[in-house]
Amino acid sequence: MRQVLLYDPSRVPADWIALLRPGQYAAFLTDVETSAPIQADGTSVKSAGDHFCLLFDSLSDAEVYCRDAATRVPRLKCEVFDSGGRVNAPVAIFVNEHYERTIDTEARARRLILWGAVSCIAALPFFLYAWWAGAEVVWWPILVGINVVLAGLRLMHWGQGLKDELKYRRDEAVRRRAGAEKMMQ
């Protein structure tokens, strides 16, 4: 692991991305809630000139370090990028278990889909009441039922979109990793 400034005019090359070789990974440490850059000990970075990233020779090294750092510093969010840099989505994101709800996961996507289905089912009593009471006399259950169904459909769409995005990120990371391994051979 190496800590390098994102931009250092005294270094050749001055930009951090030029230091990253295929097969290497860069980790950026930020605050979970504010996304402000922080040090590995949790203190804030004093100026933009002090903003840094950590370079690792393998993904497993980056994962071990980031898991340990997120356990030690609860507010730490560690995003790991491949040799393409921040152009692509992070290969992995690590946070403390208290903040896992803030990142997108398969479990979160499933919960959104489940709550959407529950919302759609919860609208049935409103429609049944409107049918029983007579829709021309009691109109409000139909209005509430339609809105609950639409909210449920929105939640299911959001969850499915999240699942698709996570699958796309995984597939892209695997594709980029395979490309980097090919270039190294």
State the pLDDT at residue 169. 81
State the pLDDT at residue 28. 94
Give pTM, 2 decimals: 0.69
Share of the chain above pLDDT 90, in %: 43
State the pLDDT at residue 180. 65
Mean pLDDT within 34-54: 86
The mean pLDDT value of the chain amounts to: 88
- 112-139 pLDDT, tens digit per residue, is 999 999 999 999 999 999 988 887 778 8
Confidence of residue 56 (pLDDT cuts 50, 70, 90): very high
Confidence of residue 185 (pLDDT cuts 50, 70, 90): low
Whole-angstrom Cα distance, residue 91 to residue 58? 12
State the pLDDT at residue 146. 96
State the pLDDT at residue 184. 65
**Helix pair 124-133, 106-122: axis angle to 10 deg:** 10
Could you tell me the residue ranges of all domains in the chain?
2-102, 106-184
- 138-171 pLDDT, tens digit per residue, is 889 999 999 999 999 999 999 999 999 889 888 8
Pair of tokens at residue 42: 């949790």
State the pLDDT at residue 160. 97
Lowest pLDDT segment from 14-23, 66-75, 99-108: 99-108
Whole-angstrom Cα distance, residue 148 to residue 118? 10
- DSSP characters over the chain: -EEEESB-TTSSS-BGGGGPPTT-EEEEEEETTT--BB-TTSPBPSSGGG-EEEEESSHHHHHHHHHHHHHHSTTEEEEEE-TTGGGSPPSEEEE-GGGGGGS--HHHHHHHHHHHHHHHHHTHHHHHHHHHH-TTT--HHHHHHHHHHHHHHHHHHHHHHHHHHHHHHHHHHHHHHHHHHHHH-
